[in-house]
Amino acid sequence: MLELAQVQSNVLRGFRQGEAPKFVQYLFLQFASDRACRALIDALYPLVTSCEAYDQARSGAKQDPAKVGPCPVAVLNIGLSYACLELLGLGGNARALDERDHEATGAIEAFKCGMLERAESILGDRGPSAPEHWESGYRERLHAVISLASGDRGSLDTLRGEVDQRLANTAGVALVFEERGQHFDAPLEGKEHFGYTDGIAQPAVLGSGLESFPGDGTPGKRRGWSPLQPGEFVLGHIDESGQVQFGSQLFKNGSFMVFRKLAQHVARFHEYTAEVGRQRGESAEFVGSKMIGRWPSGAPLVLSPRKDNERLAANPKRNNDFRYTDDKDGTACPFGAHIRRNNPRDDPSGPLTSQTKLHRIIRRATPYGPFLPAGQADDGQDRGILFVVINADISRQFEFVQQNWVDEVLSSTHLTIPEDRDPLIATQTAGAKFLIPSGKRNEAPVIAWKLPTFVTTKGGAYFLLPSIDALYDIAKSIEWDQEGGECESGQPDENGGDGCEKSPAPAPEPSGAPG
Asked if residue 12 lies in contact with residue 363, where contact means CB atoms within 8 angstroms, the answer is no
pLDDT at 496: 38
- Omega of the bond prior to 187 within 30 degrees of 0, cis? yes
More confident site: 387 or 248 = 387
Taking 80 as the threshold, does the pLDDT of residue 321 lie above it? yes
* Helical (H) or strand (E) element with 390: strand 384-391
DSSP state of 409: S
Residues above pLDDT 90, as percent of the chain: 71
Average pLDDT over residues 295-310: 97
Using 50, 70 and 90 to split pLDDT, how confident is the model at 419? low
More confident site: 480 or 148 = 148
Using 50, 70 and 90 to split pLDDT, how confident is the model at 504? low
More confident site: 395 or 490 = 395
What CA–CA distance (Å, rounded) separates 86 from 506? 26
Using one digit for the tens of pLDDT, what is the confidence trace for 104-116? 667 889 999 999 9
Residues above pLDDT 70, as percent of the chain: 89
What CA–CA distance (Å, rounded) separates 307 from 314? 15
pLDDT at 354: 77
The three-state secondary structure class of 342 is: helix
The three-state secondary structure class of 115 is: helix
What CA–CA distance (Å, rounded) separates 198 from 200? 6
Taking 70 as the threshold, does the pLDDT of residue 336 lie above it? yes
Mind giving me the DSSP string for 182-246? EPPPTTSTTB-TTS-B-------BTTS-----TTSSEE-GGG-EEPBPGGGTSTTSB-TTS-B--
What CA–CA distance (Å, rounded) separates 476 from 307? 58
Average pLDDT over residues 266-279: 96
The three-state secondary structure class of 496 is: coil
What CA–CA distance (Å, rounded) separates 261 from 278? 32
Residue 306 CB: number of other CB atoms within 10 A? 9
* Contact residues for 492 (Cβ-Cβ < 8 A; gap 6+): 498, 499
pLDDT at 509: 61
**CA neighbours within 13 Å on the CB side: how many for 38?**
15
Model pTM above 0.85: yes
Nearest residue to 84 (alpha-carbon basis) of 30, 43, 131, 41: 30
Give the CA angle between residues 228, 232, 236 to the nearest 5°: 120
Using one digit for the tens of pLDDT, what is the confidence trace for 62-73? 888 888 887 888
Q: One-letter amino acid identity for 201?
A: A
Using one digit for the tens of pLDDT, what is the confidence trace for 95-143? 655 555 545 667 889 999 999 999 999 999 999 999 999 999 999 999 9
Using one digit for the tens of pLDDT, what is the confidence trace for 455-490? 999 999 999 999 999 999 999 988 765 555 554 433
Using one digit for the tens of pLDDT, what is the confidence trace for 212-244? 999 998 888 777 899 999 999 999 999 999 999
Average pLDDT over residues 183-200: 96
Average pLDDT over residues 9-13: 97
